[in-house]
Structure 1
């Protein structure tokens, strides 16, 4: 397991459920053990308290975020840090893009993908058999 990020002011989080599903926000203040005040002016998340169960913490942190920061100042910090592009390039961002692509696929697209995977698996199994035969001959 990797290192889990800590909950702290300025931590960027990905929302995993609710009306703001799939959007990024910043933790502005910690209310209690279960909730935090979040805001995401550039992504369309209004300032509101949210449960930690509804968000996934990322490795990105904004510096100098305090509880009285306004949406304009926060949006300027977000634009300066350019964390949205960094998140989209990360592994989690790529997985989310792929998941979105899969949900938009038609039946025919899924069929084509299935056939392509079958061809790839046949090629891989043939190559694996050749390698195992060569290694068996080398042992004798």
Structure 2
């Protein structure tokens, strides 16, 4: 998002330092790069020059001519109902609560402690109830409730009929004896080896 709080005529600011700290003013004119002329006719701030680093710019702005008089500024302030708009902002509510706590006494701080304790107790009870409900419904951490699946029977396969008596006979039948191996014919010896020469005398 682009920056939209500029130092310009009509910009409403909160004084953050000095004698007028915590009061609303509006910028009437820019004196130089570091100082502006401000006026707060409805917040009891007289027209004077302030440093820019003493101001905290808000998102509110009223329209009036450049270097307008205090009477014109007051008229534009009241026409825009600026005080009511500022009181409705979160910024103003935080400052109001901060001021109230600074002005609290011992009894007020004790009452605040008891109120916080009761608030925390109620918050814990509500959290536990919601958590238990989420666990029961199965929606804890954003998960949807899981429904149990119905048991479905698978269709039986078409099996071929088996003859049990034939199986038993095959198991009880003795295995056939192995056939004896045929004897191999002896190889014929060569004639030269069979006829031995006669010894010489």
The 2-side partners of 1:89 and 1:95 are apart by 11
Q: State how far apart, in whole Å, the 2-side matches of 1:107 and 1:65 are.
A: 50
Q: Higher strand proportion, which one?
A: 1
**Which SS does the other structure have where 1:38 is aligned?**
strand
Hey, what does 2:20 align to over in structure 1? 20
The residue that corresponds to 1:103 in the other structure is: 102
Equivalence for 1:123: 122
- Provide closer, same or farther for how the CA distance between residues 109 and 43 of structure 1 changes in structure 2, counting only shifts above 3 A: same
Q: 2-11 or 49-58: which moved more?
A: 2-11
**1:127 partner SS:** helix
The answer to which of 22-31 and 58-67 deviates more is 58-67
Cα 1:71–1:11 change in 2 (3 A) is: same
Aligned residues: 139
Greater shift, 35-44 or 107-116, is seen at 35-44
Task: Give the Cα separation in 2 of the matches to 1:137 and 1:76.
Answer: 62
Provide Cα deviations, 1:27-73, integer angstroms capped at 9, x if missing partner: 01122332211111221212222122221212222213312x22222
Contact 2:64 2:76 in 1 (8 A): no
Q: Is 1:88 aligned to residue 73 of structure 2?
A: no
Matched, 1:40 2:54: no
C-alpha displacement of 1:116: 0.8
Structure-to-structure mapping, 1:66-85, within 5 angstroms: 66-67=66-67, 69-85=68-84
Q: Structure 2 stretches of 5 or more lacking a match?
A: 139-145, 147-201
Taking structure 1 as the reference length, the TM-score comes to 0.86
Inter-partner Cα distance in structure 2 for 1:120 and 1:42: 39
Of 115-124 and 85-94, the range deviating more from structure 2 = 85-94
